[in-house]
């Protein structure tokens, strides 16, 4: 295994050398954007979709990425090759860059680009069968009028507060509602419920990231003829669902077995969740950009 190499502003450096300025507005203010991407068998899954979300987020917050879309894709591939990584997780961060202590982003002359690629072990295979224990939390999702959830910004304090609450309850993941009490998403994943064969996921305008995995599941449902609706629902609907599952780049498709002490379905991963996980895993090394020949 080669020593880990990190891409930092055009250079490939060691972990120790991969440092940024304390004046970087990403550090000072969470001013920046990021992506989490998976590589499966040398295939960067949904690479273009992730990069598109990154460039759209950048445009929305008026952050100029100093690399073209193609250059960014090349940098991703080169980072993976230098790390000899065929299976793993890529964290791509673009911060506003070093400025001064003031808020004004005009003081930041150049955005910083960081690519970290490493191995990933998030849930055991058993966890995909048994499902996660979750709780709903009092922390509300940031309102879309304040920070649009389509922007995958570095400002994750809202999600971190959710994680703190979830940790305190001894849960593996938490479910966030918006200010109106509609279910939005988890701290780091999208949510789906299944009731009487119909699959529901909240529309993103309620306050959820437009997850790439969420979209992949929607595509699979359409292709396989499952009935799927993007529709608002409440915690009551979650409690009485036949199945509940979460989706995300790191988590893939993982069942929820318990929510706020209510057992979901049979108390383990349900048949539709497992089928969707299987379908999802059958495309992850196909659909994307090959980093390795
Ligand atoms: N919601 C939030 C808040 C997230 O951080 C993530 C992980 N990026 C997701 C949903 C899932 O998105 P994706 O499928 O693109 O990883």
Q: 143-179: buried (b, 16+ CB within 10 Å) or exposed (e) per residue?
A: ebeeebbbbbbbbeebbebbbebbeeeebbbbbbbbe
Residue 238's domain spans which residues?
125-283
Which tens digit of pLDDT belongs to each residue from 35-54?
999 999 999 999 999 999 99
CATH code for position 106: 3.30.470.10
Domain boundary among 54, 86, 118: 118
DSSP per residue over 149-171, as a string? TTS-BS--HHHHHHHHHHHHTT-
- Residue 1, pLDDT > 70, answer no
Residues 67 and 169 reside in one and the same domain: no
State the residue for tokens 């917050």: 61
Average pLDDT over residues 183-197: 98
Q: Which residues pair with 251 in a beta bridge?
A: none
Residues 61 and 133 reside in one and the same domain: no
Residues 103 and 140 reside in one and the same domain: no
Q: Are 6 and 116 in contact (CB under 8 A)?
A: yes
Average pLDDT over residues 162-172: 96
What percent of the chain is predicted at pLDDT more than 70? 99
Residues 171 and 269 reside in one and the same domain: yes
Give me the pLDDT at residue 121, please.
Answer: 80
Specify the residue with its C-alpha closest to ligand 1, atom 1: 189
Number of domains in the chain: 2
Q: How confident is the model at residue 293 (pLDDT cuts 50, 70, 90)?
A: low
Quick check: pTM over 0.90?
A: yes
In a domain, residue 218? The reply is yes
Mean pLDDT of the chain: 97
152 given a catalytic annotation: yes
Give me the pLDDT at residue 265, please.
Answer: 97
Chain center to CA of 256 = 17
Give me the pLDDT at residue 119, please.
Answer: 94
Q: Are 241 and 193 in contact (CB under 8 A)?
A: yes
Q: How confident is the model at residue 122 (pLDDT cuts 50, 70, 90)?
A: confident
Q: Long-range CB contacts (< 8 A, 24+ apart) of 68-74?
A: 72/113, 73/47, 73/48, 73/289
CB-ligand 1 contact for 142 (6 Å cutoff): no
Specify the residue with its C-alpha closest to ligand 1, atom 4: 188
Residue among 189, 206, 216, 246 whose CB has most ligand 1 atoms within 8 A, to mutate: 189
Give me the pLDDT at residue 244, please.
Answer: 98
Cα angle, residue 201 at apex, residues 243 and 182 outer, rounded to 5° = 100
| Ligand 1 centroid from CA 289, angstroms | 20
Domain boundary among 70, 101, 118: 118
């Amino acid at each position: 295994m080669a020593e880990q190499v990190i891409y930092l502003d055009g250079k490939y450096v060691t972990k120790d050398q991969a440092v940024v300025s304390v004046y970087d507005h990403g550090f000072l203010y969470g001013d920046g954007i990021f992506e989490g991407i998976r590589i499966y068998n040398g295939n960067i899954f949904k690479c273009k979709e992730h990069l598109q979300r990154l460039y759209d987020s950048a445009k929305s917050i008026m952050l100029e990425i100093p690399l073209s879309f193609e250059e960014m894709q090349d940098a991703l591939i080169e980072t993976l090759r230098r790390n000899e990584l065929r299976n793993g997780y890529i964290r791509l961060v673009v911060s506003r860059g070093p400025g001064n202590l003031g808020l004004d982003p005009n003081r930041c002359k150049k955005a910083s680009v960081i690519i970290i690629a490493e191995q990933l072990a998030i849930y055991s295979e058993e966890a995909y069968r048994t499902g996660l224990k979750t709780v709903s939390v009092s922390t509300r999702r940031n309102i879309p009028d304040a920070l649009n959830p389509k922007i995958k910004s570095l400002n994750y304090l809202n999600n971190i507060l959710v994680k703190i609450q979830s940790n305190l309850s001894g849960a593996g993941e938490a479910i966030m509602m918006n200010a109106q009490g509609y279910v939005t998403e988890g701290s780091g994943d999208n949510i789906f419920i299944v009731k009487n064969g119909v699959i529901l996921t909240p529309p993103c305008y309620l306050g959820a990231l437009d997850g790439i995995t969420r979209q992949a599941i929607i595509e699979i449902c359409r292709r396989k003829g499952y009935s799927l609706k993007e529709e608002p629902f409440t915690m009551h609907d979650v409690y009485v669902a036949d199945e509940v599952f979460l989706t995300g780049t790191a988590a893939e498709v993982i069942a929820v077995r318990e929510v706020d002490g209510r057992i979901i379905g049979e108390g383990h991963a349900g048949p539709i969740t497992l089928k969707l996980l299987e379908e999802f895993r059958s495309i992850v090394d196909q659909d994307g950009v090959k980093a390795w020949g």
